[in-house]
Structure 1
Amino acid sequence: MALGLVAVGAPAANAAEPAAGSITGVVTGEAGAPLEGVLVQLFHCDPDFDPTQQADCWTLLWANGQSAKTAADGTFAIEGLEPGTYRAALGPQAATAQYVREYWDGAQTLEAATDIEVPAGAAATIAPTLEVGATVSGTVVDGDGAPVSGAYVYAYLSGDLNSTRGGASVAADGSYAITGLPAGEYVLKSGPGWGSTTELVDEYWQDVYTADAATRVDLTAGAAFTADFALNAGAAIEGTVTTGGAPVEGVAVSATYAGSPDRWVDTVTATTAADGTYRLAGLEQADYVVGFSDHDGDLGQQYWQGVADRASATTLTVAPGDVIDGIDAELTAGGSISGTLTENAAGEGAPSAGAYFDVLRENPAGAWERVTSAQSTADGGYRVSGLAPGEYTVLTYGSSSARWAATYHGGGYYPEDAAAVTVAASAETADVNVETRPGVSISGRITDEHGGAAPDARLVLLYERTPGNWVEPPAHGGAGDDISYMAGGMPPGNYIAKFEDRGASAEPYATQFWQNAATQAEATVLEAPNGGAFEGVSAVMTRTAPEPEPAPTPTVTGTAQVGQALTAAAGDWGPGAELAYRWLAGGDPVDGATAAEFTPADAEAGSAITVEVTGIRPGEPALVATSAPTAALLPRFADVTGTGGHTANVRWAGAEGVIDGVRGADGVVRFDSTRAATRSTIAVALYRLAGSPEFALPAKPTFRDVPASHEAYAAIEWMKREGITSSTGSFSPSAALKRQEAAAFLYRAAEPAFAAPAKATFSDVPKGSTYFTSIEWLAAERITTVKGTFGPTSTVTREALATLLKRWDALAD
């Protein structure tokens, strides 16, 4: 990776300094009246700012003469400014407190402010008009209605509950007023103030104790809103501490927060009186655990209800006004541990004077809980008493947390490597010694390719805990800003520095290891068996092109059967994508099947069908996605599976589109071979075999039972037009087709030159009967092959009609 250097020319000798400029103007209120005493402050953009040292180029000017207050006529002038870009903040003071603080021109943040260009030797002029803000006022009293002098009230914009937009102290009469608030939605909060000795607790307006539940207040410019607060006393927890039934004085009792780590709640402490009683007052609405400690005494610490570890402690849920008594403790004899803390920098141990250390107790889950923290004496010695019987260890940070590696008793650096010691009642466990070694520190910078901060880029350190086993190092100290970092107090050993993006950008920074290594196997190992400092372990982060969004998986809808249309749904490829389709049967492409819809032919029967969708998003390479396969395709008629009888003729009728199948409720098409054919069935078949010719349909339907909406309307009208049917009045399209009718229709459609024989072929169709000539022609052309009798009034089945039609159609070949 190459970093470009920008050449900077040396200034010409004796070059004249550019003439100073100025910013002048007049500040008025909404009615155009000049405002006196408004503080005008300037921010200057240094064009040569160092992005590794600053987040942006803006610096507030503090020097004498670089800010001003407006005169009685609203004017101001700030002179002696070097030419360049500035921004201005306009801050109303006591006399103009009703106006909203803003940045020129009308912005609420420095980032949104308008630039002011100051030319050399000239003045830039601005004319700000400040808006009258909203006012919130009221009173703050306690539960008895007495003023809470010295209390506070803060107004927070609901979108930023971490910083106030305005606030005020409460006067002796309980009144307050917050002025100059910009329009917006607010949350209001009051409390007794810092250093208060009352038992009152903070609350949001209308007696609410959490920000999420707080009432939102919409304030408009110039509006006045009244919000009175009646602060309530916090909850109280009371009890008595005894040992052997006798009260114990001087025991420390604490209520510590036991809720979500996302919230901070102060710990409240008290000390037992001579009669063993205590009172923890002013508790916020929260969950607490109550602990008892006889610091430097002989009684073992415990939590309420006699448990020695916090994890097993009973939680108390309290709300303001609650008084929970009877939270008593009967303390029993505790034990103590003692030992020496040493430091070994060059193979020889030396006392770890004044070293901070934690005493940890193992809870039933096997985790270490901190019981207390202390410092060793000048000779490295320590002794901690008042410990409940159980398993303990000691963790020391050495005399300087930045220099020494945090080490557990037994020499381990991870909690699971700590050596445990047993503490018994009325006994001291001695020689719980810990020796620390010099810690490792690693520091450097993380910047982007332009030399500025790399948002979301993070350092990840890997520690070789055992040969070849690289894990995160144990908890350690550190510091840093948006660019620089320092990690310290880590155990001696081998390290790898990894830099990765922990954000959610569409173009994240590429992961890298120190010295531009792309993989951990190529990474430089920082070897520090005896501790040491590694400086300049830096990275210049570059963004990776986003991985193409994967292609959505297409789906196929429709019934998996020959002759039924299947439809491809490509999925959401996003705007502007170009899509192409390809259908496959049994994994092989089907010639010409490149549309979003595909109707399988008889050749695909028995094959599973898939569709491939090729998509090209704007500016991206083509991606191909394939659907899941359908079930094996059913034949065109699901109930026609054999080979004998009329089967071949039925398949011909289906393939040629002469006779349609019957779609069941399950969507599958069947032929229903033995079902009776209808008069409309043969009409449609003959019309299709004729090529479905176009002709002028009559203005009025010929048959009263075949309206224009009938599915066979065109076919039946064509039959009438061609003289194939001689019916009048009605056609009876749904009536079962008789054999003699089929013979007549086929004969007339063929228009043959035929002379009937002198002797009848069929005993049930005598010479001179109505259908004699048609039936004799049918027999002569071997369209029917029956012998003896013809059955002229018998019903024609659908499969028999298929056979008659196929033979009839073959006459033309």
Structure 2
Amino acid sequence: MAAASLIAGTVTTPDGPVFSGVGVQAYSEDGLSLAAATRTKPDGSYVLGGLVQGRYKLLISPSTTEWANQWHGKFATARSSPALFVGDGQTLSGINDVLSAKATISGNVTLPSADSHSDVSLIGPDGGVAGRSDVYGGTFMFGSLLPGTYTLQFNRDGSKQSTLEAQYYKGIPEASGPAGATPITIAAGQVSNINDTLRVGGTITGRINDANGAALATEIRAYTNDSRFVTRTVMSAADGSFTLAGLTTGNYLLSAGEDRTPVVEAAVATTAGQNTDVGVLQYPAGTRLPRFSDAPDGAQFFKEIQWMAVQSISTGWTEANGTRTYRPLQPVNRDAMAAFMYRLAGRPAFTPPATTPFADISTDNPFYKEIAWLAANGISTGWTEANGTKTYRPLQPVNRDAMAAFMYRLAGSPIFTAPPGTPFADIRTDSPFYNEVIWLAANGISTGWTESNGTKTYRPLLPVNRDAMAAFMYRSSIGS
């Protein structure tokens, strides 16, 4: 077995002093998958170990509030940061960085209605994404930024579902392209307050049938070949109806199914604030949509379970009679949850460590890669047992409170302040995972139950069944 590879260096301040506790993380070359993490020692030095041969990008995250987060080489995003190659058993030393004083961009957003949802993306000087956030209560904030010039994009995160038009700061529609975005330049120590008003986007409505004329529940996409507009995705209902929302003024193509087959001959013209109905579309013959025999049309969470199949997040089981089943009322175990999370994240590039981080998970476990990825990204920490070992407990069902924590961390642990009063009768403000549970509810991912006495409950210790898990993942990715 090849020896582990190492990356070593120092992190200092502009005046030369060093301090301990600065986070240093090694990511895959695309900047998406965490491979290793450590913190600087009192002399400012660090060593990142446990790496395999490959190319990595380093993120520097100070533990104090006065310094900016930065990618190696003093870049705001991973896009321009140089990829560092380290060979088998090699120690790549001299990878040094100097911190910069932080800057902040925050602001208020005026929404068309109280129930409107918006997300905001911060784009760095090199065009890479420097941060993403949901807009809570009409406000947003990006802290610990490198000084420089940025742009803001609203509602251009394709993983989110919104009725609002995608646009740039100062009301610039996305049709103007990134070159038309209003720049925001901030200096070290500066707090820039940005305010904007958002608009309702256009919609495309219609129905989709299969080649035999039967209604389909499947994925529908509105997109452009040049990716000029953000791609909008929605699942059609059991009767085949769909509404694609949040569209800017322009022309969109439409596709359907997991193979994304085009279903219109010409682009569909849309106008922000108006609806375009395309009538009944037909999904071409010669393709088959994944189906589960125990989750038929009309079943609870049928749309969400169908989406799980279309996205290949769940493959289900092949039974002895050849049918495929989903087993909707079966609790989700922690090993299967790891697989769901990894697939929902887009199956990011990740090489699991040669040595398992958990005593009860062997490297030949069917879900070893997914569980190791969950741990490497801080989504699951597992348990420390009495003998000091770390365990994952793969066959233990996931309770609803732990599921909230998984979903919150998978979303990047977004900044969120839970209200002082709990909305659930069975969740106290000092309950474990209180912030995560309330974040889940605030984003419409979980609605809980209305009991016979009129109170709302969350039932935190109830195991999550597979049908409910499909609903949670669908809402977190697509919306309700």
TM-score interval, smaller chain = 0.3 to 0.5
- TM normalised by structure 1 equals 0.27
Which structure's relative contact order is higher, taking Cα pairs within 8 Å and 6+ residues apart?
A: 2
- TM normalised by structure 2 equals 0.41
Q: Pick the structure with greater CA Rg.
A: 1
